[in-house]
Each structure stands twice: as C-alpha cells, then as structure tokens.
Chain A
Amino acid sequence: MRGIFIGGIVILCFLISYMIPLKDATSEDIKACLKCHEIKTLQKRLDTGESISLYIDGKRFEKSVHGAMGCSSCHPNINVRNHPKPRKITNKKEYIKEFSPNCINCHPKDVLMKPEVHGIVVKKGEIYCSECHGSHYIGSIKEWKNKATFNEYCMACHKFDMTKTLLSKEKISLKVNEQEIKKSVHGKFQCIVCHSDFSKVKHPIYNFKDKKQYRTEMTKICTKCHTDEKLKKNPTHYALTKTASCIECHGYHGVKPAKVVRALPENQYCLSCHSRAISMKFKNGETLSVQVKESEILNSAHKKLKCTECHRDFSTTKHPIRSFDSLNEYRAKAKDICNNCHQNAVNKYDISIHAASLKRGNKESPDCLKCHGYHNVSFITKDKMASSELCIRCHKESGKAFKESVHYEAVKQGKQNAPNCSSCHNFHDVLPVNVAKLDNSCIKCHKDVKTTHNKWLWNPPLRLTTFVDTHFNSTTCASCHTKAQKAIFLTLVDEAKNKPLQEDEIAKALNIDTKALKTKVDANADGKIEEKELWQFMSSIKEKTKVNLSGKINVLNSSDAHKIESKEKSIKDCASCHSPNAPMKSKFEINREGTKPLRFEVETKVLNSLYAIPNIKDFYVLGFTKIQILDVLFFLALIGGIAVPIGHITLRVLTAPIRRKRREGK
C-alpha cells in the first residue's frame, strides 16, 4: 500500500513537472525536442514528393554558432507541450520562406544590408537565409570564408536561380551550373581565373545597358587568354571573332572546344557555327542574325544548293572579314548573290520603283531578301492570293481595295486567269503607276476590249475602233470601271522627244535645284497650284525648252484603281466626264525617274482657260475642258445677230415716211 502511495506521488510529480514552464532550462529544452528529433528516420513527406528531414544531430548543433541557444529561440511557437499537429506545407521553398523571418529577429535587416551584394540578395528575396547559411549547423562565416575554395565560395550563392535585370529591362540568369563548368575545357579553373575582378572580399556590381553590352564585356574576359595573336593562327576563326562574340558560339561557362571537322559535308561544316545564335554587327550599330536554320534550307527552293554556291567568297578554308556600314548596304550587296543565278530578275528589279525607293533610303522598300527571305527561299506558289499577300503586307490600302474587286472574286472562285498583283504590276520590274502603262495589263487578259467597247462607244455614222482608242488614250480603265473619285493628271512632256519630262530635266532646264522645283511651281507654297502659278511656270519653262502639258483621266487615289467593278456596274454615262460639272479634280505631276511623281493639286479652272489652248494643246474632254470665254462670246454673237435685224428694221420703220414721200414724188 505504501509502495503504491509513493509510486503515485512520483507519477503525480512527473505529471506536474510537465505542467510547470521550464524557464532558462536551455539544455533541457533541446533535450526535450531531441527526444523525438534525434530519431534519424524522422522526416516529413510533402505532397510535391519532396521530403524534409526532421532529424537534428544534437552534437553538431551544439557546435554551431547557435549551439548555446535553445530550440525555442528560433522556433518560438513550438515546445513539447505545444507542438503543432502535422501541418500542410506547400513545398520546401515555401517552408524555408516561412522560417527565414525568424533569423531577422536576431540579425536585423540593416546589418544584413551592409555588405552591398548581400544587401541586394536580401532585398530581392529570391534566396532565403537558410539556403545559403543552412539551418541548424551554421558555422562561422569567417572560418568558412577562409576554408572555402573560390568555387565553393561563389557557388554558395550562384547555384541558386538568381537573375539580374539590366537597364534595358532584359533579364540575365546569374545561376551557374557547376557540373557544366567541370565538364568544360575550363573545368579545372577557379571562378576568379576568368572573373578576376571578383574575390572573397570583392564583388563589384556592374550595370550593363543590355544583353549585347553584357556579351561584349564578357567576351573581353576570353581575350585575356585567347589573344588576337593566338586567334590569328586560324584566320577563319579570327574573322568570326570580329563579327560575333565568343559567347555566341562557345557559351558562357560550359565552354566546349568548338573544333569543326573540315571533312564534314560543306553545308554541315558551315552550320557548325551558323546553326548557333550568332549575329553580325554593322558599323552603324545595327545587328543581323547570321544564324541559319538547317530546316529552313531543306524546305526551301534552294535545298539542293551548297552554301558556297551562293556565298561564293566563302569556303571551308576561306572566311573573309567583311565590314558593312549598315544593314542596307549589306542587303544591297546580298542582291549580288541572287544575281549570280537570277540575272534576269535582278535586272528587272533594278529598274523598279522598289529599287529606286531602297536606293533613296526607304528601309521598308523591298529587295530580294524582303520578299524571298534569306535562306527560306520559298517555291513559287500557285496560290495567287498567297503571293499577293506579300505585296499587301506593305500596300495595305491597295490590298483592301483589291479584295472588294471583281478580280478578287475570280481569285476566290479559283479561276485560272484571275489576276493577282503581279499580273498587272509584274514581279520584279514594278514601275511607278504613272509610267507603268497599266492599262496594257488589262488588255493582256481582256483581249477583245476594243470590240466590246466599240459596241456602244462609237460616234455615228461610222463605228470606228479609233474612237475607242481616243478614250483609251486619255483615260485609264479604272476611271470608268471603278466608282472612285476621278482626276485629270497633267504632266510635262518634252515635245521633241514626246516623252514625259523628269524632275531633274526640268530643274536643269530652269537652272535650279530639284528641291527648289516645288517652290518654283507652287510659288505661294499653299500646296495648291493656282491658275496664275501654272501659266507662269509654263511660261518660264517654255522659254528654256519646248514643252507642253499632257493630260489623262485617272482615279485620284491609286489604291482605288484596284476596286474594279463588274462590267454591269461600269460607268457608261458619257456626261459623267463630258460635262462642265463633272466631279473631277485636277493634279499636276512632275515625273521622277523610277519613283512616284511629285504631285500638286491644281485649280480645275486651268482647263477652261484660254491659256490651256497653247499649254495643254493635245488634251481635250468635250464639255469639261471647254474654254469658258467662248460661251460668253456665243451669247454676245447671238445678241449681236438679233440686234442687227432689229436695228435695221427700226431704221427702216423710222425712214418709212422718207420712202413714202419719194414714191409719192414720182
């Protein structure tokens, strides 16, 4: 009985001991935790499949910088009696993130921010304290610094997914794959061999403008060992180093020997480098990717060609160093490559408005590459719309108008003879519309056009096709076959050569600069040529050379010319042009070799002026271009014609008594 009593007292004391908080009993605290956490197999498995070991090596912990502290110092909410039930942990990183603020309790942020780079890491919050410093067995940083190799020291942080945002807002990864380095030709190097500006006590911070600058700066690291002198031993490789950065071919840390086997088939040899993301720099700072995707070549019309069949200056032994001022200059030279085989097409292109425009510096203007691509030169498609889409990419308005035309309907219906852009404008020799004689393109398909027009367009009593020609010569097809606003375009023509005068020829005749020509025509610079201005200009140029103005009716906005209506909807009402009130505007054009003409709006009344007779002597639209003053003369003549009899009769009436007297006198 006594024994039972004593036993009861002991158990009660034991139980009570659990209820009284054990302040300042650090070792006891650790011991209590370790009762369970010293079990080696104790671990928690997360839903993500990750596992967190809950085992603590008590002895190691005691040796750590926090060894003298109790568990509750860092885990304040946990003790033996108040141990949270198994709780949900999303993933390891989340768990680490949750516990890291506990460190801040003793290591205030301002202290942590003092070392600059450490401060950046803390501030960015991409890595948490325990990821670098560990959790329970944290040693002395000073000791670790001394003991750690350079690689260990650097990798302590750079093994993590850290990024740096450049001034251009581009991001670069700072994570370094140690294994990749070990496998590389630089595998035995310590980090500071290349990154010599860094050390255990020095971590400069660079603010690169963009990735390009970053790559350029990084390349300088390579040239410390791989000097120009050494690189020159392989001229091809040396040439490459002048157009591409080392990193582009060799990578950053996983530097591999980039030896290219000469025995490879030629295309493979070239692709050894050019399959990589390498680019070319121009003097003006522009860059061009010189990466070649093998798949593009294999799917192109040039799939059977060897690289050197186009790039004739290059071979497995030759890689000339080329330097271009700009992408434009490069592309102009690239055309020569096409010219090796496609001379006819290139010759035609050279006279095109596109070539002239490119020459004048319009970067949007197409050359071979813009339409056909670099290496993905496609086969000629039979899909008429697909090839036209290429033009529509730039000529959006015209494309939109074309899609509302009867021609597009024919394309959609898959008609064999349905036209697309090149049917009228040609493929390569695309000329300015004012000189392209586009109506001939219509006649190419609509061969019997004269006969069909002559069925209704003739002057009695003879049905002459020349009457159709009269209209074809002075108006475009689109003028009647669209509902677009029309205008009369006046152009200066050299009477001797019967050819439109070019801007430079006019300027030369007037002995002025081409830039001053605009002011010469539009003297008051109001953007519109008044009647007086036009005749003054004509008078001054006629003093120098024999010229006249030719005229033609066309649609005002050339894009509208694509919106061809069906035959039934075409204009057949003669008075739509042959009337003084016909809604036509007037334009004055000065031709410019190979490009769009200089255009001015002109007062339409110039066509009704007496001065039009000597100055626009071959253009006449019955009714519309009538000389107004003659109408006044007509009415004066009618009045005069009536006044003569009235006057004469009046005199005869007044003199009737004289005659009567004379008769009576007889």
Chain B
Amino acid sequence: MKRVYLHPLPVRIWHWINAIGFIVLIITGAQIRFVDSMGLMSFETAVDIHSWFGFILIANYFIWLLYYLLTGKLFKIYIPPFWRPVEFIKNSIRQARYYGYGIMVGDKNPHHPTPDNKFNPLQQVSYLMIMGLLIPLQIITGLILWDPQFFSGLADIFGGIQIASLIHTALWIFFSAFIIVHFYLATLGHTPMAHIKAMFTGYEEEHEDH
C-alpha cells in the first residue's frame, strides 16, 4: 500500500468550507423557497445566512482558483486531454463501466490518482463543468438575486431576473442531488472512509483493490 499526497492543505480547506457552505446554502435556499411549509428559521434569518454563506463561497471559489492558477495545476488536473479524445473517451467508458459493472464483480479501479492527475475522466469532466461553469453561474445568478438593482446589468445579459432566478434554482436542484451522489461516491474507496479520510489528511492510500 502506498500513500499518495493528493490533496494539499489549501485544497482541503477549500473543499471543507465548500462542503459546509453547499449544505448550508441548499438548506437555507430551501427555507427561503418553502417559507410557508418549512420552519427551520425565519425568512429573514434564512436570507441572512444564505447571503453570508454565498459570499463566503465566492471568496472560497477564488481561493481555489487562485491556488490552482498559481500552482499551475488547473490545466493538468481539470482539463481533460482533449488532444487525445479517443483515448479520453475510451478511459471515460472504462471508468463508467467500472462504476456500473466492474465494482460489482471486483475489478480494479482503472484510474490511479497522482498529484498531477487525481481525477478519473468522469470526475475530470464533472469537476470541470462544476468548477468552470456551474459554480460561476451560481455565483453570478446569486449575485443578481442578492441585489437585483446593483447587478441589473448582469441580469440584462441573462435576459432578465426571471432567467437568472431560473438558473439559480435549477442549479440548486442539481447541487442538491449532486451532493448526495458525491457523498456516496466518496465512500467508494478501498474502505468507505478512505476518500473522506484523505480529504482530511491529504494522503490517499493506494490499495490493491483500486
């Protein structure tokens, strides 16, 4: 068994702030939306917490961005090898096949993470979409809803506040489902706690099961 240092400290801090932030935002988002049927807190409190955490996550997003830009790992880790498309597609299918079939019959995980290539092809596509498109979209639409007057110019680009709200809500729905699946996938290490532990320690144990 070898230990690979996959998650440097800034990434781990970013991840856990993000994790808490996401959960809080999803719950307060639900409270705001279902003010008539949910009684976790008042509407005002829900909005306040939602706004605070929104800004915390915006700052957090920039920590992530800055870290990956400064270390130059953004391209290596997040950008799929589009210059080898056939190989990438093959790898993606192999990874999907592993989660859908191989994992059941005891195949090894085809992907072996390294600090410069820690995501499997499916993760790579997913996280590129999330970090590169969905979170920025959620931030921008969130800002529009946070102060529609101040960000009216942005709202116009989107084609009105209703569309901004639609995007924000749709992403809230997506992230709500995603976070459940994400948590489940985190338990698919060689032990259920392996990946979770790694996200605390930074070290992923490379087991023969993988």
Contacts and interface: CB of A to CB of B under 8 A. Distances in A.
Contact of A630 (B147, B148, B170, B179): B170
A395 interface: no
Contact of B147 (A470, A631, A640): A470
A630 B169 CA distance: 7
23 contacts: A460-B48, A461-B51, A464-B147, A466-B147, A470-B148, A548-B160, A574-B44, A580-B36, A613-B166, A617-B160, A617-B162, A617-B163, A623-B33, A627-B166, A630-B170, A634-B30, A638-B177, A645-B180, A645-B183, A649-B184, A655-B104, A659-B106, A662-B106
B181 A644 contact: yes
A663 to B, nearest CB: 7
B128 interface: no
B150 A466 contact: yes
Interface string A625-646: 1110011011001101110110
Contacts of A645: 180-181, 183-184
A622 B173 contact: no
B165 interface: yes
A641 B178 contact: yes
Interface string A606-629: 000000111011111011011100
Interface in A530-574: 548, 574
A641 B105 contact: no
Interface in A460-475: 460-461, 464, 466-467, 469-470, 473
A642 B30 CA distance: 17
B22 interface: no
A43 interface: no
A613 B162 contact: yes
B149 A634 contact: no
A619 B164 CA distance: 11
Contacts, number: 132
B147 A579 contact: no
Please classify how large the interface on chain B is, using the bins under 10, 10 to 19, 20 to 34, 35 or more. Answer: 35 or more
Interface string B71-110: 0000000000000000000000000000100011110000
A651 B104 contact: yes
Contacts of A617: 159-163
Contacts of B176: 634, 637-638, 641
A634 B166 CA distance: 12
Given A466-B147, A623-B43, A460 B51 contact: yes
Contacts of A620: 145, 148, 161-162, 165
A613 B177 contact: no
Contacts of A469: 149
Q: What are the nearest 4 A-B pairs in CB distance? A: A617-B160, A641-B177, A641-B180, A645-B184
A652 B33 CA distance: 37
A548 B150 CA distance: 22
A630 B173 contact: yes
A459 interface: yes
B184 A623 contact: no
A622 B145 contact: yes
B174 interface: yes
A605 B90 CA distance: 49
A616 B33 contact: no
A581 interface: yes
Interface in B23-66: 30, 32-36, 42-44, 47-48, 51-52, 55
Interface string B122-165: 00000000000000000000000111111000010001111101
A658 interface: yes
A575 interface: yes
Given A616-B162, A623-B32, A642 B180 contact: yes
A511 B34 CA distance: 44
Given A623-B33, A642-B180, 12 more contacts: A459-B51, A459-B147, A460-B52, A470-B149, A574-B47, A575-B43, A580-B36, A622-B47, A623-B43, A644-B180, A651-B104, A659-B105
A622 B33 CA distance: 8
A256 to B, nearest CB: 78
A578 interface: yes
* Majority SS at the chain B contact face: helix
A73 B170 CA distance: 118
A659 B35 CA distance: 48
Interface string B178-193: 1111011000000000
B172 interface: yes
A637 B181 contact: no
A655 to B, nearest CB: 4
Interface string A150-181: 00000000000000000000000000000000
A156 to B, nearest CB: 93
Contacts of B155: 618
Interface string A185-206: 0000000000000000000000
Interface of B: 30, 32-36, 42-44, 47-48, 51-52, 55, 99, 103-106, 145-150, 155, 159-163, 165-166, 169-170, 172-174, 176-181, 183-184
A614 to B, nearest CB: 8
B104 A659 contact: yes
Contacts of B160: 548, 613, 617-618
Contacts of B103: 652
Contacts of A579: 35-36, 43
A651 B180 CA distance: 18
A574 B41 CA distance: 13
Contact of B47 (A459, A613, A649, A651): A459
Contacts of A630: 166, 169-170, 173
A23 interface: no
A473 B147 CA distance: 12
A317 to B, nearest CB: 67
Contacts of A640: 177
B174 A466 contact: no
Contacts of B149: 466-467, 469-470, 473
Interface string A440-465: 00000000000000000001110010
A462 B178 CA distance: 30
Contact of A658 (B99, B104, B163): B104
A648 interface: yes
A578 B43 contact: yes
A659 B30 CA distance: 41
Contacts of A654: 104
B185 to A, nearest CB: 8
A26 to B, nearest CB: 113
Given A469-B149, A634-B172, A618 B104 contact: no
A467 B181 contact: no
B150 A464 contact: yes
Nearest to B148: A470
Nearest to A646: B184
Nearest to A631: B33
A581 B43 CA distance: 13
Nearest to B185: A645
A637 B30 CA distance: 13
B184 A644 contact: yes
Nearest to B164: A620
A612 B35 CA distance: 21
B198 to A, nearest CB: 19
A588 B58 CA distance: 39
Contacts of B177: 637-638, 640-641
